[in-house]
Amino acid sequence: MATTKNHASLVEEKDIRFLITDCPSDASIDSYLKLLKDNNVVALVRVCQGSYSSKPLVDNGIKVYDWEFEDGDPPPEAIVGKWNKLTAEVFGAGNKGNKVKPCIAVHCVAGLGRAPVMVAISLIESGMSAPDAILFIRQRRRGAINTKQVTYLNHYKRHKKEGGCVIS
């Protein structure tokens, strides 16, 4: 049985949980599926081109989202909106207090650029500063997030504020 090339990195903060990985292959999908199930992954976001069949994941109750964007770049605003909506659904009030917390897996090719940026966005949305979010991820995934993406995250504006409304 093939295994995934790069270790998975679990990023947990408060009630949010993410698993950052590299891209599996059809040969490694069985071990990848086990990894996802072991971490209670309910959704997988592919931010690179899907190079393997998602059928085994879907057949095991994991929702798969294909939100590809250019390698080395920050995500387009439309993808950020979809990501924020997904994280709100998965980690929203209805899931608070669950004994087993749900997890969102996200991967790009190597799991060092696009995927960690998506997780950093969620950490910033949850109230963490951009530099703290980048450091938090890099402590769990060495080499994550390039200079262009750091600049993007440092200028990222939260879409939600504590207590509800956002006024721009």
Give the catalytic positions in this structure.
71, 108
Q: Which of 46, 39, 37 is nearest to 82 (CA)?
A: 46
Q: Which of 92, 83, 162 is nearest to 117 (CA)?
A: 83
Helices (H), 39-165: 55-59, 77-91, 114-125, 130-140, 147-155
Strand order in the sheet with 63-66: 9-13, 16-21, 103-107, 41-46, 63-66
- Rounded CA-CA distance 105/46 in Å is 9
Token reading at 21: 């990985």
- What residue type is assigned to position 13 of the chain? E
- Rounded CA-CA distance 79/70 in Å is 12
